[in-house]
Amino acid sequence: MNPLRLDLRHTVSNAVSNAARIAVRRDLSASITVFLIAVPLSLGIAMATGAPLQAGLVSAAVGGIVAGLLGGAPLQVSGAATSLVVVTAELVQHYGWRTTCAITVLAGLAQLVLGAVRVARAALAVSPAIVHGMLAGIGATIALAQLHVVLGGSPDASALDNLAQLPWQLSHPHAAALLMGAVTIAVLVGWPRLPGRVGRALRAVPAPLAAITLATAIAASMTLPRAVMPSWKTLVLPGLPEGPVLGIIAAVLTVTLVASMESLLSAVAVDKLRAARGDTAERAGLDRELLGQGASNVVCGLLGGLPVAGGAIRGSANVAAGAVSRRATVLHGVWVVLCSGLLAGVLGLIPLATLAALVMAVGVRMVSFAHLKHVQRHREFPVYAATLGTVVLFGVLQGVAVGVAVSVFLQLHRLTRTRITVTEEDGTHRVNVRGQLTFLAVPQLTKAFTQVPYGATAVVELDGSFMDHAAYEALRTWCDGHRARGGWATLSGRTGQPISEPVSAHACRPWTPWHNHHCTRTEVGSGSAGQLVGGLSAFQRNTAHLVRDELARLAAEGQRPTQLFLTCADSRLVTSMITSSGPGDLFTVRNVGNLMPPPGTDASCDSVAAAVEYAVEILQVGSITVCGHSGCGAMQALLGGQGHEPGAQTPLARWLRHGRPSLARLGRIGRLGRGEVALADRPVADDLERLALVNVMQQLDHLMAHPCVARRVAEGALQLQGMYFHVAEAQAYVLNRATGTFAAVRPEVLDAV
């Protein structure tokens, strides 16, 4: 066997092994990061609900291990449900802790039933305005209650009572508790902003852990209420529910609804974060995630833990820390179990005011102004406001009911019969939407999208005047996912013309030329140098953080491109744009005139030949594309006899001589009157365009003259392909070598040439 091929196999084997080791290290590191965030957060949530503090640790451990193993969102991290703090506190106060645990078990069973009947995706039809209004109302209630603890007092069950007593509490604060709360908040806010090299090193420690540690150290010599960790031997297990049957049923429904919605929304959010960093794994399975959450709540309730839900805070931290599989989630649960057994005495030193400040900060973050802008843009602020206000005044279940009622009332003014059909025509799948596209149509819309195969060309035709936030999110998510799987998707309006389609904040946007771009007008330089530095600055500000993880992966694993792309140095050819490629996809060689000198040419051409040899023999690319373009200056010089006259010794003149075979071939075509080269859908414009097309064919012949290329082609391991790009039309053409015809690449039809 070829020694080079053996070396390649050995290299690939080592790369796979290295990738596995890197994945394990990333999961281990991420699990520790999430564990350090989860422990103080779990204790704080337990304290805020009035439950035993170890109940929060039980939830973190069970959520990590059970939901991590069984759930459908591998990178989501579950634990004590932040959105259920108010509900759980009310249940503990009215029914006691044992009955609350029983309600958690029943809610878990209800989630198992919902997951089994596969209603998870239908639950996402609830307007985001209702969900975010509910979360904002819960966050406001949490923050208001925990503010009393930070001030040294005790919160009431009612948000109105807490608001009424706040002036008195502010005028009679407990100095030590207030100091601990202030230190905690200051560290939480300032820790991610620590400057310099030392600050960068310190930021490796999660802010919640740093805040808890610093506040506990300062409070060591103070007399303050502290977290009391009861013995695990006295763990209170669930008992039979005691109380009015209707009240118990309402409590179970509330816990089921809120925990499920938080988990599903968090799963979708974490999935988007995972996709944004370049992962190509399948999207989260929401029905399986609901089953995993149900199993977690059953186990958690039986062990005396708080209700469990997937959390965006822990999940986003997991993704940001570099987790690649559910191994990180499960390991985080294992670390919580070990911590609970080995460090219980240390946890008992934490001041209650510090835990309260931590939970208060979480509550404030639940009131998202970014979501408020989205809601306002989609004309659903009345729904958001009604839900938020009712949750604060009366409770979560009442707030959701009022939000649904207001949303339905608003939709009656907009909603007409929405009809969605899917048809296939000449290989193109058309999804036609007639009527107003609201959250009520999201299940129907997602069902229609399942009829579009992966990799297919799809056109979504919108024949309506309104699209709400839920439909917008569903459409955007599907478009992004379809394109990520190799498909092509676009939107068209009533007249068939393309319309603005939903794109995420991190989607690829059209570029802006330097001379029109404000970011290139910098103070560090002027003219071309200033433009370059300004463009680099814009990249660092807007793009670097989006591609850093992918580039780090490529740096660690090495490049494995599948294509060699030989094209002209012309500044109007942006190879990554016209091929929709990214880092690691193309091995690109550019020169004046996209020339490929044949073997035996002078040594000045070794750089091009060396690049081809490296791509073919070392990188083992599967194809080589030679791409010419319209308006090529090199072809114009060849036609005009400029720069390559006999005796001319400038570098440009010496290089352009390698284009003479193309010029001679064009002459033979003209003398023989043969149509050796043509465009499939229109006549060739002029001799300049004809020479550019002929030059592509000639360079392919020169490539075949290189032994390494000829051998790989003969083995069937390498394909050669010609391409022509018309700059003014932004149109690509691909060569059919059998007929000498360049066929236009159209979105509607993907011809295999």
Residues 669-679 pLDDT 10s: 765 444 568 88
The residue that leads in pLDDT, 247 or 369, is: 247
Amino acid 726: pLDDT: 92
Could you report the per-residue pLDDT of 425-447, keeping only the tens digit for each? Answer: 877 888 888 877 777 788 888 88
At residue 7, the 3 state secondary structure works out as helix
**Structural contact between residues 643 and 656, judged by C-beta atoms closer than 8 angstroms:** yes
356, 460: one domain = no
**Structural contact between residues 145 and 162, judged by C-beta atoms closer than 8 angstroms:** yes
At residue 310, the 3 state secondary structure works out as strand
Tell me the average pLDDT of the chain.
80
Could you report the per-residue pLDDT of 698-736, keeping only the tens digit for each? Answer: 999 999 989 999 999 888 889 999 999 999 888 999 998
In a domain, 736, yes or no: yes
Could you report the per-residue pLDDT of 267-280, keeping only the tens digit for each? Answer: 877 776 676 665 64
- Whole-angstrom CA distances from 111 to 101, 147, 163 are 15, 33, 35
56, 180: one domain = yes
586, 683: one domain = yes
In a domain, 527, yes or no: no
399, 424: one domain = no
Is pLDDT above 70 for 415?
A: no
Amino acid 577: pLDDT: 87
The residue that leads in pLDDT, 590 or 604, is: 590
Of the residues 492, 517, 552, which one is the last residue of a structural domain?
Answer: 492
Using a 10 angstrom Cβ sphere, with 0-12 exposed, 13-18 middle and 19 or more buried, the burial of residue 506 is middle
Looking at the structure of the chain, the number of domains it has is 3
Residue 472, φ and ψ in degrees, nearest 5: -60, -45
Residue 422, φ and ψ in degrees, nearest 5: -125, 125
386, 318: one domain = yes
Is pLDDT above 70 for 508?
A: no
729, 618: one domain = yes
CB neighbours of residue 566 within 10 Å? 26
Residue 743, φ and ψ in degrees, nearest 5: -100, 140
In a domain, 12, yes or no: no
pLDDT (average), residues 379-403: 83
The amino acid present at 391, given as its one-letter code, is V
Q: Would you name the residues annotated as active-site residues?
A: 568, 570, 572, 629, 632
The amino acid present at 699, given as its one-letter code, is Q
The CATH number linked to 471 is: 3.30.750.24
Amino acid 525: pLDDT: 45
In a domain, 14, yes or no: no
What would you report as the CA-atom Rg of the chain, rounded to the nearest whole angstrom?
32
In a domain, 102, yes or no: yes
226, 345: one domain = yes
Domain range for 325: 23-410
DSSP assignments along 701-724, one per residue: HHHHTSHHHHHHHHTTS-EEEEEE
Encoding tokens for residue 196?
């310099």
At residue 322, the 3 state secondary structure works out as coil
Sorting pLDDT into bands at 50, 70 and 90, what band is 751? very low
Percent with pLDDT over 70 in the chain: 83
Of the residues 492, 519, 546, which one is the last residue of a structural domain?
Answer: 492
272, 329: one domain = yes
**CA–centroid distance for 65 within its chain:** 24
405, 423: one domain = no
Encoding tokens for residue 21?
């080791």
Amino acid 495: pLDDT: 40
In a domain, 518, yes or no: no
Encoding tokens for residue 531?
């433009």
Amino acid 19: pLDDT: 62
In a domain, 552, yes or no: no
Q: How far apart are CA 471 and CA 407, in angstroms?
A: 14
Of the residues 453, 471, 492, which one is the last residue of a structural domain?
Answer: 492
In a domain, 209, yes or no: yes
Q: Give, for 725, the enclosing helix (H) or strand (E).
A: strand 719-726
Is pLDDT above 80 for 170?
A: yes
391, 362: one domain = yes
pLDDT (average), residues 618-641: 90
456, 565: one domain = no
pTM over 0.75: no
386, 251: one domain = yes
Percent with pLDDT over 90 in the chain: 16
The CATH number linked to 624 is: 3.40.1050.10
Could you report the per-residue pLDDT of 40-60, keeping only the tens digit for each? Answer: 788 888 888 888 888 888 999
Amino acid 230: pLDDT: 59
**Structural contact between residues 271 and 280, judged by C-beta atoms closer than 8 angstroms:** no
**Structural contact between residues 589 and 649, judged by C-beta atoms closer than 8 angstroms:** no
Beta-carbon contacts of residue 672 (< 8 Å; ≥ 6 apart): none
The residue that leads in pLDDT, 543 or 56, is: 56
282: left (phi over 0), alpha (psi -120 to 50) or beta: beta
The residue that leads in pLDDT, 705 or 200, is: 705
Amino acid 330: pLDDT: 92
Tell which residue, 430, 546, 557, 422, has the closest CA to residue 489: 430
Amino acid 311: pLDDT: 78
463: left (phi over 0), alpha (psi -120 to 50) or beta: beta
